[in-house]
Protein backbone atom coordinates (compact mmCIF):
# COMPACT_ATOMS: atom_id res chain seq x y z
CA UNK A 1 0.00 0.00 0.00
CA UNK A 2 1.45 3.34 -1.07
CA UNK A 3 0.71 7.00 -0.42
CA UNK A 4 2.38 10.40 -0.86
CA UNK A 5 2.33 13.36 1.53
CA UNK A 6 4.35 16.39 2.57
CA UNK A 7 7.10 16.26 5.17
CA UNK A 8 6.49 18.67 8.06
CA UNK A 9 9.99 20.09 8.30
CA UNK A 10 11.42 19.94 4.78
CA UNK A 11 8.11 20.70 3.08
CA UNK A 12 8.94 18.20 0.32
CA UNK A 13 6.85 15.29 -1.05
CA UNK A 14 7.46 11.98 0.74
CA UNK A 15 6.38 8.61 -0.63
CA UNK A 16 5.40 6.05 1.98
CA UNK A 17 4.83 2.36 1.33
CA UNK A 18 3.50 -0.22 3.79
CA UNK A 19 4.56 -3.84 3.30
CA UNK A 20 3.62 -6.93 5.36
CA UNK A 21 6.40 -8.77 7.16
CA UNK A 22 6.86 -12.22 8.64
CA UNK A 23 6.09 -13.18 12.24
CA UNK A 24 8.25 -11.63 14.98
CA UNK A 25 9.72 -9.03 12.61
CA UNK A 26 8.18 -6.11 14.48
CA UNK A 27 7.68 -2.64 13.00
CA UNK A 28 10.64 -1.78 10.78
CA UNK A 29 11.28 1.51 8.99
CA UNK A 30 13.34 1.62 5.80
CA UNK A 31 14.72 4.73 4.10
CA UNK A 32 14.98 3.81 0.45
CA UNK A 33 16.99 6.93 -0.40
CA UNK A 34 19.93 5.94 1.83
CA UNK A 35 19.37 2.21 2.38
CA UNK A 36 18.85 2.49 6.15
CA UNK A 37 16.72 -0.03 8.03
CA UNK A 38 15.79 0.63 11.67
CA UNK A 39 13.37 -1.10 14.01
CA UNK A 40 10.82 0.90 16.00
CA UNK A 41 12.18 0.41 19.53
CA UNK A 42 13.28 2.64 22.43
CA UNK A 43 17.00 1.97 21.91
CA UNK A 44 16.79 3.39 18.38
CA UNK A 45 15.30 6.75 19.42
CA UNK A 46 17.82 9.50 18.67
CA UNK A 47 15.78 12.68 19.25
CA UNK A 48 12.53 13.68 20.99
CA UNK A 49 12.70 17.46 20.81
CA UNK A 50 9.73 18.14 18.51
CA UNK A 51 8.80 14.60 17.46
CA UNK A 52 9.91 11.04 18.02
CA UNK A 53 12.91 10.36 15.79
CA UNK A 54 14.63 7.00 15.25
CA UNK A 55 17.83 6.23 13.42
CA UNK A 56 21.56 5.71 13.81
CA UNK A 57 24.71 7.82 13.78
CA UNK A 58 24.32 8.62 10.08
CA UNK A 59 20.61 8.83 9.21
CA UNK A 60 17.24 9.23 10.87
CA UNK A 61 13.47 9.11 10.29
CA UNK A 62 11.42 11.80 12.04
CA UNK A 63 7.78 12.22 13.12
CA UNK A 64 6.93 8.53 13.35
CA UNK A 65 4.43 8.82 16.23
CA UNK A 66 1.22 9.61 14.29
CA UNK A 67 1.68 6.63 11.98
CA UNK A 68 2.68 4.32 14.83
CA UNK A 69 -0.37 5.39 16.83
CA UNK A 70 -2.61 4.12 14.04
CA UNK A 71 -0.55 0.96 13.43
CA UNK A 72 -0.67 0.08 17.14
CA UNK A 73 -4.40 0.76 17.42
CA UNK A 74 -5.08 -1.54 14.47
CA UNK A 75 -3.28 -4.36 16.29
CA UNK A 76 -0.51 -4.64 13.69
CA UNK A 77 2.70 -6.26 14.97
CA UNK A 78 4.76 -6.87 11.83
CA UNK A 79 5.14 -4.19 9.18
CA UNK A 80 7.77 -2.64 6.92
CA UNK A 81 7.36 1.12 6.44
CA UNK A 82 9.33 2.42 3.46
CA UNK A 83 9.94 6.15 2.99
CA UNK A 84 12.19 8.01 0.54
CA UNK A 85 13.05 10.86 2.90
CA UNK A 86 14.06 11.63 6.49
CA UNK A 87 10.50 12.05 7.79
CA UNK A 88 7.08 10.45 7.71
CA UNK A 89 4.58 12.62 5.79
CA UNK A 90 2.53 14.78 8.15
CA UNK A 91 -0.72 14.24 6.17
CA UNK A 92 -3.39 16.31 7.99
CA UNK A 93 -1.47 16.42 11.29
CA UNK A 94 -3.39 13.52 12.83
CA UNK A 95 -3.59 9.73 12.42
CA UNK A 96 -6.79 9.77 10.36
CA UNK A 97 -5.10 9.44 6.95
CA UNK A 98 -3.01 6.52 8.19
CA UNK A 99 -6.16 4.82 9.50
CA UNK A 100 -7.72 5.13 6.05
CA UNK A 101 -4.55 3.73 4.50
CA UNK A 102 -4.63 0.74 6.86
CA UNK A 103 -8.35 0.20 6.21
CA UNK A 104 -7.63 0.05 2.50
CA UNK A 105 -4.66 -2.28 2.91
CA UNK A 106 -6.32 -4.72 5.32
CA UNK A 107 -4.44 -7.16 7.55
CA UNK A 108 -4.03 -10.87 8.13
CA UNK A 109 -3.39 -13.04 11.19
CA UNK A 110 -0.04 -14.78 11.07
CA UNK A 111 0.59 -18.31 12.30
CA UNK A 112 2.27 -17.14 15.50
CA UNK A 113 1.31 -16.23 19.08
CA UNK A 114 0.67 -12.56 19.85
CA UNK A 115 2.64 -10.97 22.69
CA UNK A 116 1.62 -8.45 25.34
CA UNK A 117 3.47 -6.38 27.90
CA UNK A 118 1.62 -6.65 31.20
CA UNK A 119 2.50 -3.76 33.53
CA UNK A 120 3.16 -5.28 36.97
CA UNK A 121 3.89 -2.18 39.06
CA UNK A 122 3.78 1.60 38.81
CA UNK A 123 6.59 3.19 36.81
CA UNK A 124 6.94 6.98 36.67
CA UNK A 125 9.29 9.55 35.17
CA UNK A 126 9.24 13.25 36.07
CA UNK A 127 10.48 16.62 34.87
CA UNK A 128 9.57 19.14 37.55
CA UNK A 129 5.77 19.13 37.77
CA UNK A 130 5.50 17.23 34.48
CA UNK A 131 5.25 13.45 34.61
CA UNK A 132 4.29 10.33 32.73
CA UNK A 133 3.59 6.97 34.32
CA UNK A 134 2.05 3.55 33.82
CA UNK A 135 0.15 1.47 36.36
CA UNK A 136 -1.18 -2.10 36.47
CA UNK A 137 -4.64 -2.49 34.93
CA UNK A 138 -6.43 -5.06 32.80
CA UNK A 139 -8.46 -2.39 30.94
CA UNK A 140 -5.91 0.00 29.41
CA UNK A 141 -6.69 3.71 29.65
CA UNK A 142 -4.83 6.88 28.70
CA UNK A 143 -5.43 9.78 31.09
CA UNK A 144 -3.79 13.03 30.02
CA UNK A 145 -3.87 16.58 31.42
CA UNK A 146 -2.40 19.71 29.83
CA UNK A 147 -2.26 23.25 31.17
CA UNK A 148 -1.30 26.05 28.77
CA UNK A 149 -1.21 29.76 29.47
CA UNK A 150 -3.41 30.41 26.45
CA UNK A 151 -7.10 31.45 26.43
CA UNK A 152 -8.12 28.80 23.89
CA UNK A 153 -6.31 25.82 25.45
CA UNK A 154 -6.00 26.52 29.20
CA UNK A 155 -6.37 23.30 31.25
CA UNK A 156 -7.76 20.23 29.53
CA UNK A 157 -8.06 16.63 30.69
CA UNK A 158 -9.19 13.58 28.75
CA UNK A 159 -9.50 9.96 29.81
CA UNK A 160 -9.52 7.49 26.95
CA UNK A 161 -10.55 3.85 27.41
CA UNK A 162 -8.49 2.11 24.79
CA UNK A 163 -9.91 0.12 21.86
CA UNK A 164 -9.72 0.50 18.11
CA UNK A 165 -13.23 1.83 17.50
CA UNK A 166 -12.84 4.46 20.20
CA UNK A 167 -9.41 5.40 18.86
CA UNK A 168 -10.82 6.07 15.40
CA UNK A 169 -13.75 8.07 16.77
CA UNK A 170 -12.22 9.92 19.71
CA UNK A 171 -8.48 10.24 19.07
CA UNK A 172 -7.35 9.61 15.49
CA UNK A 173 -8.60 12.92 14.03
CA UNK A 174 -6.95 15.14 16.69
CA UNK A 175 -4.33 17.26 14.95
CA UNK A 176 -0.94 18.42 16.09
CA UNK A 177 -0.87 22.06 17.19
CA UNK A 178 1.55 24.91 17.49
CA UNK A 179 1.89 28.62 18.05
CA UNK A 180 2.45 31.12 15.27
CA UNK A 181 5.46 32.68 17.00
CA UNK A 182 7.11 29.26 17.30
CA UNK A 183 6.37 28.42 13.65
CA UNK A 184 8.03 31.66 12.56
CA UNK A 185 11.10 30.86 14.66
CA UNK A 186 11.33 27.30 13.33
CA UNK A 187 11.09 28.46 9.73
CA UNK A 188 13.91 30.91 10.34
CA UNK A 189 15.99 27.83 11.17
CA UNK A 190 14.85 25.93 8.06
CA UNK A 191 12.31 23.79 9.95
CA UNK A 192 8.50 23.41 9.77
CA UNK A 193 8.65 24.36 6.07
CA UNK A 194 5.77 21.99 5.34
CA UNK A 195 3.60 23.18 8.23
CA UNK A 196 0.35 24.92 7.33
CA UNK A 197 -3.26 25.32 8.39
CA UNK A 198 -3.89 22.17 6.34
CA UNK A 199 -1.87 19.93 8.69
CA UNK A 200 -1.86 21.60 12.11
CA UNK A 201 -3.93 23.71 14.48
CA UNK A 202 -2.11 27.05 14.66
CA UNK A 203 -2.73 29.66 17.34
CA UNK A 204 -1.64 33.25 17.75
CA UNK A 205 -1.64 34.89 21.19
CA UNK A 206 -5.45 34.92 21.44
CA UNK A 207 -7.18 32.64 18.97
CA UNK A 208 -7.08 29.71 16.53
CA UNK A 209 -6.09 30.73 13.01
CA UNK A 210 -7.68 27.73 11.25
CA UNK A 211 -10.91 28.97 9.64
CA UNK A 212 -12.67 25.63 10.19
CA UNK A 213 -11.97 25.67 13.93
CA UNK A 214 -11.46 22.54 16.00
CA UNK A 215 -12.49 18.95 15.31
CA UNK A 216 -13.07 18.35 19.02
CA UNK A 217 -13.52 21.02 21.67
CA UNK A 218 -10.55 19.49 23.52
CA UNK A 219 -8.58 18.53 20.42
CA UNK A 220 -5.28 19.60 22.01
CA UNK A 221 -5.26 17.09 24.84
CA UNK A 222 -6.64 14.35 22.60
CA UNK A 223 -3.67 14.82 20.28
CA UNK A 224 -1.36 14.38 23.27
CA UNK A 225 -2.98 10.97 23.83
CA UNK A 226 -2.50 10.15 20.14
CA UNK A 227 1.20 10.95 20.53
CA UNK A 228 1.49 8.89 23.72
CA UNK A 229 -0.03 5.80 22.07
CA UNK A 230 2.47 6.09 19.24
CA UNK A 231 5.42 6.69 21.56
CA UNK A 232 4.59 3.76 23.85
CA UNK A 233 4.12 1.46 20.86
CA UNK A 234 7.91 1.38 20.59
CA UNK A 235 7.80 -1.14 23.44
CA UNK A 236 6.98 -3.60 20.67
CA UNK A 237 3.83 -5.23 22.07
CA UNK A 238 0.35 -4.31 23.19
CA UNK A 239 0.64 -2.61 26.59
CA UNK A 240 -1.80 -3.85 29.22
CA UNK A 241 -1.83 -1.12 31.84
CA UNK A 242 -2.97 2.44 32.49
CA UNK A 243 -1.03 5.46 31.25
CA UNK A 244 -1.29 8.82 32.97
CA UNK A 245 0.47 12.10 32.28
CA UNK A 246 0.51 15.75 33.19
CA UNK A 247 2.08 18.02 30.55
CA UNK A 248 3.86 15.02 29.08
CA UNK A 249 6.04 15.07 25.97
CA UNK A 250 7.80 12.81 23.50
CA UNK A 251 10.85 13.04 25.73
CA UNK A 252 9.00 11.92 28.87
CA UNK A 253 7.29 9.12 26.94
CA UNK A 254 10.65 7.92 25.67
CA UNK A 255 12.14 8.02 29.17
CA UNK A 256 9.11 6.08 30.41
CA UNK A 257 9.59 3.26 27.89
CA UNK A 258 13.24 2.98 28.91
CA UNK A 259 12.33 3.02 32.60
CA UNK A 260 9.76 0.26 32.11
CA UNK A 261 12.28 -1.98 30.36
CA UNK A 262 15.05 -1.21 32.83
CA UNK A 263 13.71 -3.63 35.48
CA UNK A 264 12.05 -6.97 34.55
CA UNK A 265 9.94 -6.67 37.71
CA UNK A 266 8.07 -3.78 36.07
CA UNK A 267 6.42 -5.94 33.43
CA UNK A 268 5.69 -9.42 32.19
CA UNK A 269 5.60 -10.66 28.60
CA UNK A 270 2.64 -12.93 27.87
CA UNK A 271 1.41 -14.47 24.64
CA UNK A 272 -1.96 -15.46 23.29
CA UNK A 273 -2.38 -18.36 20.90
CA UNK A 274 -3.68 -17.98 17.37
CA UNK A 275 -6.81 -19.90 18.38
CA UNK A 276 -7.69 -17.22 20.96
CA UNK A 277 -6.83 -14.19 18.85
CA UNK A 278 -10.43 -13.94 17.66
CA UNK A 279 -11.37 -12.82 21.17
CA UNK A 280 -8.63 -10.22 21.05
CA UNK A 281 -9.90 -9.02 17.69
CA UNK A 282 -12.94 -7.61 19.51
CA UNK A 283 -10.61 -4.94 20.95
CA UNK A 284 -9.08 -4.21 17.55
CA UNK A 285 -12.35 -4.56 15.61
Considering the domain boundaries, does residue 52 fall inside one?
yes
Q: Which of 9, 66, 223, 250 is catalytic?
A: 250
Whether 9 is catalytic is no
Q: Where are the beta strands (DSSP E) in the chain?
A: 2-6, 13-20, 27-31, 36-39, 45-47, 53-55, 60-61, 79-83, 114-119, 123-127, 130-135, 141-147, 155-161, 177-179, 201-203, 238-240, 242-246, 267-272
The domain of 164 spans 2-280
Considering the domain boundaries, does residue 285 fall inside one?
no
Question: pLDDT tens, 219-276?
Answer: 999 999 999 999 999 999 999 999 999 999 999 999 999 999 999 999 999 987 655 5
Considering the domain boundaries, does residue 270 fall inside one?
yes
Considering the domain boundaries, does residue 212 fall inside one?
yes
Q: Which residues, in sequence order, are CB contacts of 46 under 8 Å at separation 6+?
A: 53, 54, 55, 56, 60
Closest CA to 269 of 147, 48, 118: 118
Query: Mean pLDDT of all residues in the chain?
Result: 91
Considering the domain boundaries, does residue 39 fall inside one?
yes
Residue 89: give its domain's CATH number: 3.30.1700.10
Predicted local confidence at residue 281, as pLDDT:
54
Cα of first residue to Cα of last residue in the chain, in angstroms, is 20
Considering the domain boundaries, does residue 67 fall inside one?
yes
Which H/E stretch holds residue 41?
A: none
Planar angle of CA 76, 56, 90, nearest 5 degrees:
50
Domain count, the chain: 1
Predicted local confidence at residue 129, as pLDDT:
97
Could you give the CA distance from residue 221 to residue 245 in angstroms, rounded to a whole number? Answer: 11
Q: Read off the pLDDT of each residue in 89-107 and give the average, rounded to a whole number.
A: 92
Question: Residues 92, 172: contact at Cβ < 8 Å?
Answer: no
Q: pTM, whole model, 2 decimals?
A: 0.93
Which of 244-271 are b and which e, b meaning 16 or more Cβ less than 10 Å from the residue's Cβ? bbbbbbbbbbbbbbebbbeeeebbeeee
Question: pLDDT tens, 45-70?
Answer: 999 988 999 999 899 999 999 999 99
Predicted local confidence at residue 191, as pLDDT:
64
Considering the domain boundaries, does residue 98 fall inside one?
yes
Amino acid sequence: MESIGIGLHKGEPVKITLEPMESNAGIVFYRSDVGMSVKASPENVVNTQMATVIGNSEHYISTIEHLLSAVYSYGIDNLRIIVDSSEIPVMDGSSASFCMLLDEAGKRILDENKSFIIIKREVEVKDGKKYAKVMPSLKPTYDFTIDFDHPVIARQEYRFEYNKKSFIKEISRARTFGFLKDVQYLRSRGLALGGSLENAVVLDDNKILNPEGLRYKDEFVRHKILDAIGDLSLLGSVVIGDYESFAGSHNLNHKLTKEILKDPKNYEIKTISKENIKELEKVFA
